[in-house]
Structure 1
Amino acid sequence: MLQFLRPYRLQVVGASIALVFTAGITLSLGQGIRLLVDEGFSSGTPAMLNQALLIFMGLVMLLALGTFTRFYLVSWIGERVSADLRKAVFDHVVTLHPGFFETNVSGEIQSRITTDTTLLQTVIGSSVSIALRNALMFVGGIIWLIITNPKLTSMVLLSVPLIVIPILVFGRRVRALSRSSQDSIASVGSFVGEAIKNIKVLQAFNYQQRDKALFARHVEHAFAIAVRRINQRAWLSTIVILLVLGAIAAMLWVGGHDVLAGRISSGELAAFVFYALMVAASVGAISEVYGDLQRAAGATERLLELLSARSLIVPPAVPRELPTTVTGELWLKDVCFAYPSRPDYWAINALNLRVPAGSSMALVDSSGAGKSTLVDLLLRFYDVQSGSISLDGVDVRELNPETLRDQIALVPQQPVLFTGTVADNIRYGNPDASEDQLIAAAKAAYAHEFIERLPEGYDSFVGEGGVRLSGGQRQRVAIARAILKDPKLLLLDEATSALDAESEFQVQQALQRLMKDRTTIVIAHRLATVVKVDKIAVLDHGRLAALGTHGELIKESPLYARWASLQFDHDQVDPAAVSDTEPLLNKQESE
């Protein structure tokens, strides 16, 4: 964590000075008590008593000033470091490749950025200060005990190892349990987030009671771990108090007899008792915050795991640049790709495709046969195992991913809108766009009319995930966002499959404008949406099975003709072409 403290070294130095100052003043109070007893009370003169009290009050004022300075600086450092850590983790997480989030639950990542950093803020802004201050008080108190009475001090020192050993033993257990506790809390948060995000589906299937039971199980598991952690901390505190106060009781017995025998003064015994209690309180305070420090250590481990995660998609050491004028020509040469979770299965297998600049190509196949995978590869969310993908003759692996994605716009099947206004979501395509450009993009996407009817127009709040808009409206906002970006390569991933007839018509009109003079890859199950594209590529288990126009494929591709016969009226399809697909269909069904 030192890397996060280093920028604020002046504040750390100031807090350290205040810490040492307050510890020194607190230790001086013992001598103030000695003066008050021996020269104030015992002298019998009001002047000496007043002088002793003035010295004592002066020390108290200095202690108050030092405490204010220490508390302010330490709390400021805790808040500042926590904020910097949150930003650092988030800034790193958003650069990780999408495959990272397939194995790491978003709710747990969110818990690390919020809960764990909040815990660290509390520890840095409070517990660390308490631990350091009490460590100074412990050392200083021992020194003053030795100066005041070496004989009695030896009794106190004999108990120190007995106190430190339980702190170390129980502390290790608390740290392990704290890590488990943080993980279980993250699991609870993840469950809540998923349930709320999908509340309509949850209620539609009447899953409330079962989810309540599942959530209760998560909560009780977290509670059980917390109880084990609390039990360890409670035993630690109990043992420390018993040992420390037992040692003080023995010391008072010996010291009391020395006062009665005249070997030490009452003031010396009072000062010694003060320092002994201070040492005992310091040990007790350290044992209390030691558990917090161990919890912070567990939280730090979780955060540093995120910070140390490495993205599999990184810019090359010396990235190439695209031509000054990007045309959008796309080449796929012998592309083979398998997901890391399924290395033995080729999602894309020896695929060769060329999409001329400004043309459109549709990809059709059965579900799960590689269409959406190809979108991920074009955006370089993953790298191919063999072969190459080139944009304007430059291999995408030789480009900075940001340079590549600057030329691409994606309109997905389920449009993603972010919490904010309609204008905010459209500007996602170009944050620097003017108001006129924003409205022009909305008009081109056939979205301006419905946006104007919203309560606050372009400043209307869309809700989480765009919940306040219909599916067709969300899709048109997504198209407006793509239009505003003005890409050279457009990726349409099932952009109309989930819409009603009216919304689909309006979205299709918007897409036709968007596709004009742009290289476009269209992914679709519904063949009616791709009959007008320049070329249609038929994929079969990641391989290219056929390539041509709709009319050509009806005649030449039995597989495509079969799909067409299932989606169009039979009188629109050549019966001979359909009949040719029967042997292939029977073979596929038997497999």
Structure 2
Amino acid sequence: MTEHARADNEGSGADPGDLERVSDSETETGRKDAGKEEASGSKTRSIGPLFMLLGAARKYPGRLVGAGCALVTTAAATLAIPNFFKLVIDRGFDGGDINRWFEYLLLLVVVLAIGTAFRFYLVSWLAERVVADLRVKVYDNLVTLPPSFFEENNPREISSRMTADTAIIEQVVGSTISVALRNLLTVIGGTIYLFILAPMLTVWLLVAIPIVIIPIVLMGRRVRNLSRSSQDRIADIGAMVSEVLGGIRIVQVFNQQGREAGRFGEAVERSFATAKSRIWFRAILTALAMALVLGALVGLMWRGALDVEAGHITGGTIAAFVITAGLVGGAFGALAEVYGNLLRASGAAQRLGELLATTPAIAAPARPQELPTPARGSIAFQNVTFRYPTRPEDKALNDFSLVIEPGETVAIVGPSGAGKSTLFQLIARFYDPQVGSVRVDGIDLTRADPIAVRDRLALVPQESTLFNASARDNLRYGAWEADDDAIWKAARAANAEQFLKALPNGLDTVIGDAGARLSGGQRQRVAIARALLRDAPILLLDEATSALDAQSEQLVQSALETLMKGRTTIVIAHRLATVRAADRIVVMEDGRIVEQGTHAELSANSGLYASLAALQFE
């Protein structure tokens, strides 16, 4: 969080120790696509969602009360400064002990400095703590949502909410709200003090304030809109960098570096053009604010000087009035300025609140039906029709029925788009079918706890998913309590032992983002070993040997055949050589079963399987 003192006239209303004001330009920089109200389909027009943050801060009442006390102390000390200047002028210069009043003024400055330090620490601590708690709550909820949620909602946007939106909230809780409250106290207390000093001058001041503030607010809205556009352009740049660097191998192998550099340059220029407009309007706004604010102060001083000359008020009174008027006017301006930031933070809080309020579409019923123990491993699809939420017009499965007996090995083959992988999605209950039912051990999955169902599954996906962690943690991901002996046994069965021992730190070696330090075949063998270690009664193999060379495939296939004994196994394969030994082969097309049988039976027919086999083997 960026903290600095604003010493120029734009910092009107800021006390000498205020380290929490953040300039508009610095606030925008680094936020990237934070605050993109358009992404959520609506713009926040109230600060209501910010009360969610107050609820989070209430968990720390001691810090909250301490920050409030420090806030009141600093506001009171700030307002006391003009009164001490009045006493210095009226009493110190009029034959009194001027040193005494300056000593009191120095003591007040010390109180203000200490109070500001406490306020800064406590408010900043609360900001960091609230944001940390919010991030944890949002993430805890996100990992419970089914894959369908992330098909309908861009994971990049969700990642932005988790980082950039929380950064906005952190800045607002740690700075803007504190500034707003302090300036509100300054406005209230300062206005009361002005009426005490010079009632008629205060009336003139109250008339002048709207004349000064309204044009600034109207111009400020235009600046905020341009700021939002600038953030969008910066977000485009960030997305382009992420996309191109993520696919850098494709970019380079097709020699598209020049084209991508040109695209990036155009995006940067668009961002610069938007920034120029924002800077221009910001400059006009600054000039307008200075002219109106300082002009109003000069007018008040002029009127006050006439009253001093006429003997209506003292010189100390007009000095205190001008200083206090400057504080009050500056506080009004600061409130108008921070209101835009509060709206942006409110939008960020609203978007995070939406993630917190999202409930999993796939969840356990109020009274889940327990799966029978011990597990048998039977699977049954009964007249299942299923459409993916993102493709409602296409039937991935169409009146599909299939019964798999405990311990049976069933291979699923067919052309791409036949619905093979959809079977795994439904068995793992990532989705529920629109029509029909899926049962495991005789229990309809919609009546069972998804966690209990998944405890009986082990999966080897077609594209191995590994994490940026140690090899040990990746291997035991499905059986976290497994010891090294069990890990090495599984690695040995998956033909992964040799390359794992060759890693610099063995099982403690961090294998990089998505297993980047391993080859494709090695990543697949780690995924197979992970499934072996899971030791689940139902094994799902989605083209599990596709990334292996012939020798490794033979070794792994042998290990899998040993593993599959006594377990229900479903094998999805495009390479028919891997499914010849299956108890049954199910051939799918357009979401339906078109053939079933053994390899020999299906090869003897003139159906789809025979055609696929002829393409591969002949």
Query: Shared fold (TM-score greater than 0.5)?
Result: yes
Return 5+ residue gaps in structure 1 as ranges.
Answer: 570-591
Q: Give the Cα separation in 2 of the matches to 1:136 and 1:167.
A: 21
- Mapping of residues 442-481 of structure 1, within 5 Å: 442-481=491-530
- Mapping of residues 21-100 of structure 1, within 5 Å: 21-43=73-95, 45=96, 48-100=97-149
The one-letter code sitting in structure 1 at the alignment partner of 2:206 is L
2:438 alignment counterpart = 389
The one-letter code sitting in structure 2 at the alignment partner of 1:354 is V
User: Bigger shift: 524-533 or 476-485?
Assistant: 476-485
C-alpha displacement of 1:433: 2.0
1:13 alignment counterpart = 65
**Larger relative helix fraction:** 1
Q: 239, 243, 250: which one pairs with 2:299?
A: 250
1:279 alignment counterpart = 328
1:578 alignment counterpart = none
Q: 484, 498, 521: which one pairs with 1:435?
A: 484
CA contact (8 A) 1:316 1:399 kept: yes
2:314 alignment counterpart = 265
Q: Give the Cα separation in 2 of the matches to 1:205 and 1:478.
A: 30
1:208 alignment counterpart = 257
Q: Give the Cα separation in 2 of the matches to 1:100 and 1:228.
A: 38
The one-letter code sitting in structure 1 at the alignment partner of 2:326 is L
Q: Give the Cα separation in 2 of the matches to 1:86 and 1:529.
A: 45
String of CA shifts for 1:564-583, please: whole Å, max 9, x gaps. Answer: 111124xxxxxxxxxxxxxx
CA contact (8 A) 1:159 1:244 kept: no
C-alpha displacement of 1:175: 5.4
- Mapping of residues 466-545 of structure 1, within 5 Å: 466-545=515-594
The one-letter code sitting in structure 1 at the alignment partner of 2:88 is L
Q: Give the Cα separation in 2 of the matches to 1:178 and 1:83.
A: 27
User: Bigger shift: 111-120 or 294-303?
Assistant: 294-303
Q: 550, 554, 564: which one pairs with 2:613?
A: 564
User: Bigger shift: 259-268 or 161-170?
Assistant: 161-170
1:3 alignment counterpart = 55
Q: 1:347 to 1:557 in 2, by over 3 A?
A: farther
What's the TM-score once normalised by structure 2's chain length?
Answer: 0.87
C-alpha displacement of 1:513: 3.2
Q: Give the Cα separation in 1 of the matches to 2:357 and 2:218.
A: 29
Return 5+ residue gaps in structure 2 as ranges.
Answer: 1-51
CA contact (8 A) 1:178 1:294 kept: no
The one-letter code sitting in structure 2 at the alignment partner of 1:40 is G
CA contact (8 A) 1:141 1:278 kept: yes
Q: 1:10 to 1:330 in 2, by over 3 A?
A: same
- Mapping of residues 229-240 of structure 1, within 5 Å: 233-240=282-289
C-alpha displacement of 1:232: 5.2
Q: 1:378 to 1:107 in 2, by over 3 A?
A: same
C-alpha displacement of 1:224: 4.6
Q: Give the Cα separation in 1 of the matches to 2:585 and 2:154.
A: 37
Count of residue pairs the alignment pairs up: 566
The one-letter code sitting in structure 2 at the alignment partner of 1:21 is T
Q: Give the Cα separation in 2 of the matches to 1:106 and 1:542.
A: 28
Secondary structure of 1:7's counterpart equals coil
Secondary structure of 2:364's counterpart equals coil
CA contact (8 A) 2:462 2:546 kept: yes
Secondary structure of 1:99's counterpart equals helix
Q: Give the Cα separation in 1 of the matches to 2:482 and 2:270.
A: 50
User: Bigger shift: 145-154 or 292-301?
Assistant: 292-301
Q: Give the Cα separation in 2 of the matches to 1:121 and 1:18.
A: 19
The one-letter code sitting in structure 2 at the alignment partner of 1:279 is V
CA contact (8 A) 1:419 1:464 kept: yes
Q: 1:525 to 1:178 in 2, by over 3 A?
A: same
String of CA shifts for 1:200-227, please: whole Å, max 9, x gaps. Answer: 1221111222222333344444455555
User: Bigger shift: 463-472 or 183-192?
Assistant: 183-192
Q: 1:5 to 1:526 in 2, by over 3 A?
A: same
Secondary structure of 2:126's counterpart equals helix
Q: 151, 157, 163: which one pairs with 1:108?
A: 157
Q: Give the Cα separation in 1 of the matches to 2:274 and 2:153.
A: 22
Q: Give the Cα separation in 1 of the matches to 2:423 and 2:381.
A: 10
String of CA shifts for 1:524-575, please: whole Å, max 9, x gaps. Answer: 1111000001110011211111111111111245221111111124xxxxxx
Q: Give the Cα separation in 1 of the matches to 2:410 and 2:69.
A: 70
Q: Give the Cα separation in 2 of the matches to 1:190 and 1:306.
A: 21
What's the TM-score once normalised by structure 1's chain length?
Answer: 0.91
Secondary structure of 1:322's counterpart equals coil
CA contact (8 A) 1:418 1:465 kept: yes
Q: 1:178 to 1:375 in 2, by over 3 A?
A: farther
CA contact (8 A) 1:18 1:70 kept: yes
C-alpha displacement of 1:97: 1.9
String of CA shifts for 1:383-402, please: whole Å, max 9, x gaps. Answer: 11111110000011111222
C-alpha displacement of 1:306: 3.0
C-alpha displacement of 1:478: 0.6
Q: Percent identity?
A: 50
Bigger relative contact order (CA 8 A; separation at least 6): 2
The one-letter code sitting in structure 1 at the alignment partner of 2:423 is L
String of CA shifts for 1:425-448, please: whole Å, max 9, x gaps. Answer: 112112222222222222222212
The one-letter code sitting in structure 2 at the alignment partner of 1:13 is V
1:320 alignment counterpart = 369
User: Bigger shift: 332-341 or 222-231?
Assistant: 222-231
- What is the RMSD of the two structures over their aligned residues, measured on CA atoms? 2.1
